[in-house]
Chains A and B, each alone.
Chain A
Amino acid sequence: MSRISDLLNADFETLRGALDRREISAVELAKESLRRARATNASLNAFVTVAEDSDALGQADAADVRLDAGERNAVLGLPVAVKDLILTKGHRTTAASRMLEKFTAPYDATVASRLKRDGAVIVGKANLDEFAMGSSNETSFFGPCRNPWDLDRVPGGSSGGSAAAVAARVSPFSLGTDTGGSIRQPAGFCGITGLKPTYGRVSRYGVVAFASSLDQVGPMCADALGCAALLESIAGPCAHDATSSKREAPKFLEETRRFRDRETLLGLRIGVPKEYFGEGLEPDVRAAIGNSLAALESSGASIVEIELPQTRYALPVYYLVCTAEASANLARYDGIHFGHRSEKFSEGTLEELYAMNRGEGFGDEVKRRILLGTYALSSGYYDAYYRKASQVRALIRRDFERAFERCDVIAGPTSPTTAFRLGEKSDDPVSMYLSDVYTLSLNLAGLPGLSLNAGFDAKGLPIGLQLMSRWWEESTLLGTAAFLQKRDPSTLRLSPVAAAFAAGVQP
């Protein structure tokens, strides 16, 4: 039992090795994962739905059969939490919204079917901000998720539950989605590793759409190697997604290992944008990032100062583009063919029926963003808002193209602060939006980005280091992160919740 407990808390290589050597079974692993999920659901609320035993253990059993037969792949038999924005057939999939409270997915998202193909064990649907709109997991209809490092604080968002599940070591892996930082920021707040792949690297088919030109599904795991493993399973072309790239996905795990095992980082140029170190950045965060940069430099990498002058416009561009796209993407939630239908409607116009269903089904932040987006697209405003923002988006992209002529990886803080308290920012939407200021630009440019733990602040809260690379160069990010994590495993310290599990104590 404690062996399983330790393994579930261990790094990816250790866990993978033990499973492959048949020292433990997938069923044992799944049992412990489910136990932890149930034990923490009241305190953490990381899951909207925990899988039924019969379901999860059935998957685990099938994985054991395959393992016993000698089959091996990166994720086979490992428990994974799936953000409840991603459709898993036969399961309730809610997008953390009252609108979809009773919705059962009639088909699998591509990423879900790939996980199943590879034998990963889906142990539950992770909590999130409603329709992925938020940076703290506080807008969920099913209640906020909490940070395993401090239960009074947010885990970040929108993939808060996915991050918390991994940080609490309920499951070693989770899938999140990232539209403006929703994988990276919670990964940073929860002290784990999270990757947003290049736009088009992973299929969006079966993922509830928030902003179509920005959304990407990505892996979240304690360490970079785990992320590489999960990415390998889900990445690659998809015929059901016209925006997915035709490029075959490389062997991420192999490439990441190779990079990690380099003697030196000589030749790697790390770009540091001056715009990311201005005001608003907490001193502890600044210090931790400084240490990481020093570590990179002492390993042979060169540090280059770069400019990303359009950074200050990333916020308005992002909020005009994503809300415009979201306003159309969420129009299908009307309570006609699926979704919430008001019990209060007895008679009236069609317009009233829709307005009631949607008015009741959506929370405030979602409504606000739909209104914003509708306005940005409306007659007379399209040019000044949506079109203008889309032009500035081109300039933001150009900033990165220029920067990557002078460096290979851009590094900076994931967030200006560490995890804030629940309720601290809920009243001021702009202040909430600002917590994403370092992550937004990446989605606008379609570039890949990763957050890994860089240390802890005076309160013991995790600090995220964000790395960004050129299009399609996820291996560089994963490799650099893996290199740093090998060099300093203290950054993989367990959260108090996970530590309690290790000690056999109820957290």
Chain B
Amino acid sequence: MPTSEDVIRIARLARLRLDPDELNPMQEKFNRIFEAFASLNEVDTHGIEPVFHATEAMALRADVPEAPLAREDLLANAPDSFEGSFRIPRVVGGEE
């Protein structure tokens, strides 16, 4: 059952901003949902292979190029761009 610290930590991981007044309702709804999940623990899954894929057949693609998107089309939906690149405000720190 997630605690409120969990909710805050997960919100960070998921890059979701929760206003302080959103936190409690979210926590409550979470609790409701996880109560419903508790029943899963009853199921004996010993030796059962998990189903991660709906199909087993991996179709590969031949190494033949298709046309790229025209740059105007690619950048048309960008909130901000500059001389052909996506642009974001300079930010401090980050992941690499």
Binary flags per residue of A122-162, CB closer than 8 Å to B gives 1, else 0: 00000000000000000000000000000000000000000
Number of interface residues of A (CB under 8 A): 74
Contact B50 A375 (CB under 8 A): no
A389 and B40 contact, Cβ closer than 8 Å, known pairs A106-B69, A200-B54, A350-B93:
yes
Binary flags per residue of A423-467, CB closer than 8 Å to B gives 1, else 0: 000001110010000000000001000000000000000000000
Interface of A is mostly: helix
A391 and B48 contact, Cβ closer than 8 Å, known pairs A355-B17, A374-B14, A429-B29:
yes
Per the 8 Å Cβ criterion, residues 340-383 of A in contact with B are 340-341, 345-356, 358-360, 362, 364, 367-368, 370-372, 374-375, 378
Contact B89 A353 (CB under 8 A): yes
Cβ of A36 < 8 Å from any Cβ of B? Answer: no
Across-interface contacts of B54 in A (CB, < 8 A)? 199-200, 213-214, 243, 446
Cβ of A472 < 8 Å from any Cβ of B? Answer: no
C-alpha gap A80/B89 in the complex (Å): 42
Binary flags per residue of A38-81, CB closer than 8 Å to B gives 1, else 0: 00000000000000000000000000000000000000000000
Minimum C-beta distance from B50 to chain A (A): 3
Query: Which interface residue of B49, B53, B59, B76 has the most chain A CB atoms within 10 A?
Result: B59
Minimum C-beta distance from A162 to chain B (A): 23
Minimum C-beta distance from A450 to chain B (A): 19
Per the 8 Å Cβ criterion, residues 42-96 of B in contact with A are 43, 45, 48-55, 57-59, 61, 69, 73-74, 76-80, 86, 88-89, 91-95
C-alpha gap A310/B94 in the complex (Å): 44
Cβ of A319 < 8 Å from any Cβ of B? Answer: yes
C-alpha gap A433/B89 in the complex (Å): 40
- Partner of A375 from B2, B32, B57, B58 at Cβ < 8 Å: B2
Contact B52 A213 (CB under 8 A): yes
Across-interface contacts of A360 in B (CB, < 8 A)? 17
- Partner of B16 from A246, A316, A355 at Cβ < 8 Å: A355
Contact A316 B18 (CB under 8 A): no
Number of interface residues of B (CB under 8 A): 53
Per the 8 Å Cβ criterion, residues 7-29 of B in contact with A are 7, 10-19, 22, 26, 29
C-alpha gap A341/B80 in the complex (Å): 9
Per the 8 Å Cβ criterion, residues 182-207 of A in contact with B are 199-200
A319 and B2 contact, Cβ closer than 8 Å, known pairs A107-B69, A391-B48, A446-B54:
no
C-alpha gap A357/B39 in the complex (Å): 36
Contact A313 B43 (CB under 8 A): yes
Across-interface contacts of A389 in B (CB, < 8 A)? 40
Contact A350 B14 (CB under 8 A): no
Closest B residue, CB atoms, query A375: B10
Contact A388 B45 (CB under 8 A): yes
Closest A residue, CB atoms, query B35: A430
Closest A residue, CB atoms, query B59: A242
A390 and B52 contact, Cβ closer than 8 Å, known pairs A245-B57, A312-B39:
yes
Cβ of A395 < 8 Å from any Cβ of B? Answer: yes
Across-interface contacts of A493 in B (CB, < 8 A)? none
Per the 8 Å Cβ criterion, residues 278-329 of A in contact with B are 310, 312-313, 315-317, 319-320, 327
C-alpha gap A102/B48 in the complex (Å): 45
- Partner of A327 from B14, B39, B88 at Cβ < 8 Å: B14
Closest B residue, CB atoms, query A393: B51
Contact B77 A104 (CB under 8 A): yes
Contact A351 B13 (CB under 8 A): no
Which B residues lie at the A interface, using CB under 8 A?
Answer: 2, 6-7, 10-19, 22, 26, 29-30, 32-33, 36-37, 39-40, 43, 45, 48-55, 57-59, 61, 69, 73-74, 76-80, 86, 88-89, 91-95
The 5 listed contacts between A and B (C-beta, < 8 Å) are: A319-B33, A368-B29, A374-B14, A375-B6, A430-B36
Which are the 4 A-B pairs with shortest beta-carbon distances?
A: A359-B17, A390-B50, A341-B79, A338-B77
Which A residues lie at the B interface, using CB under 8 A?
Answer: 102-104, 106-107, 199-200, 213-214, 239, 242-246, 310, 312-313, 315-317, 319-320, 327, 331, 334-341, 345-356, 358-360, 362, 364, 367-368, 370-372, 374-375, 378, 385, 387-395, 397, 428-430, 433, 446
What would 10 more interface pairs be, CB under 8 Å, given A371-B14, A371-B30? A106-B69, A243-B54, A245-B55, A315-B36, A339-B79, A355-B17, A367-B16, A372-B33, A378-B10, A395-B43
